[in-house]
Amino acid sequence: MTATQPAARVGRADAARTVQAFLSANDPATMSAVEFLGRRFDAGLAWVHAPRGSGGLGWDRGLQVDVEQAMEDAGAKPADILRNPIGLGMAAPTVLAHASSDLKERLLRPLWTGEEVWCQLFSEPGAGSDLAGLATRAVRNGDEWTIDGQKVWTSYAHIAKWAMLLTRTDPTAPKHKGMTYFLLDMSAPGVHTRPLRQATGQASFNEVFLDDVRISDAYRISDPGSGWSTARTTLVNERAMIGGFEPKREDGHMGRLAEMWRNRPELRTGERFGTVVDAWIRVEVARLANERTRQLMTSGEPGVEGSGAKVTAATNNQLVTRVLARLDPSAALDYDDWSIGNDARVRPETYHYVRARAYTIEGGTTEILLGQIADRILDLPRELKLDPNLSWQDIPK
């Protein structure tokens, strides 16, 4: 296979030879995860469908599954989704789809290796579920934009190097047509982050204040006023990522419940039996159904299916934690495999149960996502809404 070989001619056997040649020259056991991932990116084996120089080889998207399996068989650690979930799950597909070649070259490699963490500056105090109602203002001054506003509920903002930023650039346009999408360096002057203490004791969410922040027009990744279409790329990948995050049977919370059930026969009585079996079946059905969502994520084309996966994941997550609490409150409230925001003030005895409440809000509230499913999949009558041609500045606030 040559460097100029068309993607259509690259088959599974060709891909396997390429991966094995890479592994022969790059033993994951002899280098750090960051170094190995960097070399993997340079070889085009991060996202094989991406262009050369952007972590890919221009191959068919479906070959990514084969690459991941070969890497796992060789003992290579994958990109750390727990360290940089917003970067890998949401920023990467957005940058690949919409950013300039220069931005792809600058941003994608350290995103992939986990050296630069990302966050998402979308939600605002007055525009959470109604994201298109956001008010953060961006005003153009020659080759720069000046940003003023406030964002909220921003995971990872306290450690992020980069952010996806959605702004209002034309308040006279309808709310979905007056937004513009930027990539923001979180170390820029005027960016201020303040943690929000959660019920779990963590402070992994943040408020972010943008005061006279200057962004070069080179970091704009949508046409002025067309940020909503770019934001949809981010949002569908976010929902698919949350909903399709646990691909293995009895992963996560369900694994804890199953282990308790098998190791403690005194719990297997009466109503408890039906409750646990019902939870197991629901989680397993969702896992199998979500395989399609994960395939769409691999292809870079998740749609409304991601909304369904996210709703189901949130509902099942809360169901399993409730069952755990009923069976054994002490076990249900014990949680020690932290991923972000851990500090001395965290109360691990309450985290497991309390954190499950957030999944029906983050990544799109359940009510909003059910509305999308009703509208776009079931073709049910739409809810009454404001005139879509009404300018943002004229909407009652």
Active site (catalytic) residues: 238
H-state helical runs in 47-100: 64-73, 85-86, 92-98
Q: What CA–CA distance (Å, rounded) separates 157 from 362?
A: 15
Exposed/middle/buried for residue 363 (C-beta within 10 Å: 0-12, 13-18, 19+): buried
Cβ neighbours around 270 below 10 Å, total: 7
337 HSE (CA, 13 A, CB side): 4
* Identity of the residue numbered 103: L
Distance in angstroms (rounded) separating the CA atoms of residues 295 and 300: 9
Strand partners, 149: 210
Cβ within 8 Å of residue 273, ≥6 positions away: none
- 270-299 and 252-263 helices cross at what angle (nearest 10)? 150
Helix (H) or strand (E) holding 13: helix 12-25
69 Cβ contact list (under 8 Å, min separation 6): none
**C-alpha 23: how far from chain center:** 29
205 strand-pairing partners: 196
Measured CA to CA, the distance from residue 185 to residue 106 in angstroms comes to: 12
- Do 180 and 62 meet the contact criterion of CB atoms below 8 Å apart? no
Length of the chain: 397
b/e string for 14-51 if b means 16 or more Cβ within 10 A?
Answer: ebeebbeebbeebebeeeeeeebbbbbbebbbbbbbbe
Residues with Cβ within 8 Å of 316's Cβ and at least 6 positions away in sequence, in order, are 254, 279, 282, 283, 286
- Alpha-carbon distance values, 132 to 127, 138, 169, 210, 293 (Å): 7, 15, 12, 18, 25
